[in-house]
Amino acid sequence: MKRKIAILPGDGIGPEVMNEALKVLDRIEKKYEVEFKYEHALVGGAAWDDHKNHLPKETLDICHRSDAILFGSVGGPVAEQHLERWSRVEVNSLLGLRKEFKLYANLRPAKLYPALAAASPLRADTAEKGFDILVVRELTGGIYFGEPKGRAGEGEEEYAFDTLVYARNEIRRIAHIAFKAAQTRDKRVISIDKANVLTTMVFWREVVEEVAKEYPDVTYEPMYVDNAAQQLTIRPSQFDVMLCGNMFGDILSDEAAAITGSLGMLPSASLADGSFGMYEPGGGSAPDIAGQGIANPIAQIMSAAMMLKYSFDMTEAYDDIANAVESVLNDGYRTGDIKEPGCKLVGTKEMGNLIVGKM
């Protein structure tokens, strides 16, 4: 089996952690009947210098002729004079890719590894119970993309607006993704909305309820977003699959990530219909530690693992990588972001090598 992968390391720690993910993929090639062909492309600040564009056509072309995109992170560095534009540029390369490739289904697993329970900001008795949450976030609709959006007026009368809109088919397709995912897990979906205030969310709840009826083996419960935000900190284990629209999913997936205690551990998948997907770590470009060889590569490595599972149907290889990561953590190895007293502190490369060594 041959698979083409667009490699977009981006900025900050992106290139360093990407190297470790590529080492893991090399190991996968040796172990399984698969051959990867990589094409590297620039994105974000890394693309700006050469192209004066965060998402150059060359990069899009490479992505278009690939079977999947492995994405690092975007966020700098950028020259002072571009700062204002940069705030849009940074946002756009991700939003641009999501739109271009119709990546409407965003899967963000947030799992509290037992070995890392002490790193969680949750109270010890809550963290001890552990949790394994999959946030399923709608990624190409809602208030992020709704039209019209803009600014008008002047002075004190100046105003700005965005539009929250969801069509039935957009809600249905993401709901199906959530219920199907639940069938492979603990068979529980909690759908997040704000049906007590927003018309769009009344509709969201109605449509999700219809879809839920098609999955009698999965339990379904709606929950208001404000309640969900607090429930995550009080009793996170009640969540299995959290189904969210674009903006609520953005917010709650960060919260779910934070309570695992380790943003550097969390992968994500953004999927289109069919097998195409983009895979990226949740943690960002971390410019403060870039180039020092100390970043945690696990999120990038697990993003590559998700690519194997969701785009290439290589579930066994996914499990192989996930087990290797867990085993290295159980052996007490930690990068700086998850260090604790008595651990064996390692850098980016050593962490990558340890994981490969377990495979």
Footprint on this chain of ligand IPM (rule: CB under 6 A):
91, 94-95, 250
| Catalytic residue of the set 11, 23, 111, 144 | 144
| Catalytic residue of the set 11, 250, 320, 337 | 250
Taking CB under 5 A as the binding criterion, the range among 57-65, 165-173, 186-194, 244-252 that sits at the site for Mg ion is 244-252
Distance CA 253, CA 243 (A): 11
Asked about 226 being catalytic, the answer comes back as: yes
Q: How far is the CB of 258 from ligand IPM (least distance, A)?
A: 13
| Neighbour order of strands in the sheet with 277-279 | 35-40, 2-10, 68-73, 277-279, 269-271, 105-111, 132-138, 241-244, 188-193, 219-224
| Helices and strands in the chain, H and E counts | 12, 14
Q: In this complex, which beta carbon is closest to ligand IPM, that of residue 95 or of residue 359?
A: 95
Q: How far is the CB of 246 from ligand IPM (least distance, A)?
A: 7
Distance CA 31, CA 351 (A): 20
Q: Which does 94 bind (CB under 5 to 8 A by kind): ligand IPM, Mg ion, none?
A: ligand IPM
Q: In this complex, which beta carbon is closest to ligand IPM, that of residue 75 or of residue 236?
A: 75
* Secondary structure percentages of the chain, helix, strand, coil, to 5: 50, 20, 30
Q: Which amino acid is at 36?
A: F
Torsion of CA 80, 85, 86, 91, to 10 degrees: 170
Interface with Mg ion (CB under 5 A), residue from 20, 240, 250, 280 = 250
| Catalytic residue of the set 26, 49, 50, 226 | 226
Asked about 4 being catalytic, the answer comes back as: no
Question: How would you classify the pairing of strands 241-244 and 132-138?
Answer: parallel
Asked about 194 being catalytic, the answer comes back as: yes
Q: In this complex, which beta carbon is closest to ligand IPM, that of residue 250 or of residue 350?
A: 250
Asked about 337 being catalytic, the answer comes back as: no
Asked about 217 being catalytic, the answer comes back as: no
Q: In this complex, which beta carbon is closest to Mg ion, that of residue 144 or of residue 276?
A: 144
H or E element that contains 133: strand 132-138
Active site residues: 144, 194, 226, 250, 254
Residues interacting with Mg ion, by CB under 5 A? 250
